[in-house]
Chains A and B, each alone.
Chain A
């Protein structure tokens, strides 16, 4: 008996089915050609390459896949989907896995999630994204206060960072209401908003 390949105790067939259902992709048709991995611009920062993630999903290795760093570092560039000979929308699978990981509370790369949430906070508050607001909120959430300070002088001089948020005319209330309903529903349904 070879322990290294005994994976029976971690296989979760329901997981495979759920990923296929949520993403609408037939993960089973992946034959591990590696095209997706070959073209992935984020692969250097992955702990499992994207083709390995696909294999993991096929094998029902729920824990390793949902706790991987890769699903957070994915750039959503769709190069993988473009080049998959089996027409699997691999990027959609990656996105589905990220949603599932969040739902289960596995946030392997918190700073990426923090950045997204601060971005969305500014959208919620102002109806439009408020670049400097996103940066400041992100820095506060993550305490990485040195983020991009080297860019700030040029960015300000070139008017690349709005000092004031761009308020949606007529107020940001309609957008705020979308977020409120979304949060209430997510809470009701037991997810992570």
Chain B
């Protein structure tokens, strides 16, 4: 199955590990991602914080490229891109708004755009639980994980239409199909502090710290994310978050695609695990030990 694909900027920079693991997992699941040519940044939060029409114009240029490619579904890994693309498409339904945005573009945009959804939902649409379970090479059994969605994946709910907006379970579904034990994680849609890490560090450190603290109390082996910025706040900024909570954390924070990749038996270097600021080596060792124990047991019976 082929999908048009909008990687978003972080895929090419701070979250190249999300990108490589997304590509690897999709390939393994026979999903082909076709990057739309000449895409540009959606403008992220700064654009809509500054001006709705500017933000829409940046998004619509990409939607227009996808429409002209004849795509009927566009996938993106980044919830922030997804939210912006969807909000822009919705606003373009109003003729007055459409006209203001068209004025900013080289040529008026296509009348209709393809539907946009996340890579996670794209995978779940293509592969059902049984099929995924049947593809598992290295079970995640014995690992306790917290699924963390962040705020944009499910909100605003009428725009994102992502399950129960306060308690989504899609990631739990995918990872439990691979054998993992998923804890009930009450802060799964709480905000981590967004890009305020740069101008106002306390905002991000406190909010991310609260999330990490809860995960630690629940005794998880790792936190699993779907958003490049969430991942950066919880991983690269983990020390800052620890300082804000007067403690120090050591919790690996992986993308759900990296976790899926491990289960599908993909090469670890393909999954970009070396890019994590908090090393996942302990987690990998635990996994290896668990599977070795299985093998011994299997041999005995």
Hey, which bits of chain A sit against chain B, CB under 8 A?
41-42, 44-45, 73, 75-79, 81-82, 89, 91, 95, 98-99, 102, 109, 111-112, 114-117, 119-120, 123, 127-131, 134-135, 138, 142, 147-148, 150-151, 154-155, 158-162, 166, 168-170, 172, 174-175, 177-179, 181-182, 185-186
Contact = CB atoms under 8 A, between A and B. Distances in A.
Contact of B155 (A44, A81, A130, A142): A81
A78 B157 CA distance: 9
Interface stretch (B9-17, B215-223, B258-266): B9-17
Nearest to A42: B203
B183 interface: no
Contact of A181 (B13, B51, B104): B104
Interface residues of B, number: 61
Given A73-B203, A77-B194, A128-B9, A82 B166 contact: yes
Given A158-B277, A175-B61, A127 B200 contact: no
Main secondary structure of the interface of A (DSSP, over half): helix
A105 to B, nearest CB: 14
A116 B54 contact: no
Contact of B276 (A112, A127, A130, A158): A158
B135 interface: no
Contacts of A102: 50
B271 interface: no
A181 B57 CA distance: 11
Contacts, number: 170
A130 B41 CA distance: 10
A141 to B, nearest CB: 10
A41 B190 contact: yes
Contacts of A117: 46, 50
A45 B106 contact: no
Given A166-B12, A174-B40, A182-B51, A116 B46 contact: yes
A85 to B, nearest CB: 14
A131 B61 contact: no
B232 interface: yes
B47 A120 contact: yes
A64 to B, nearest CB: 21
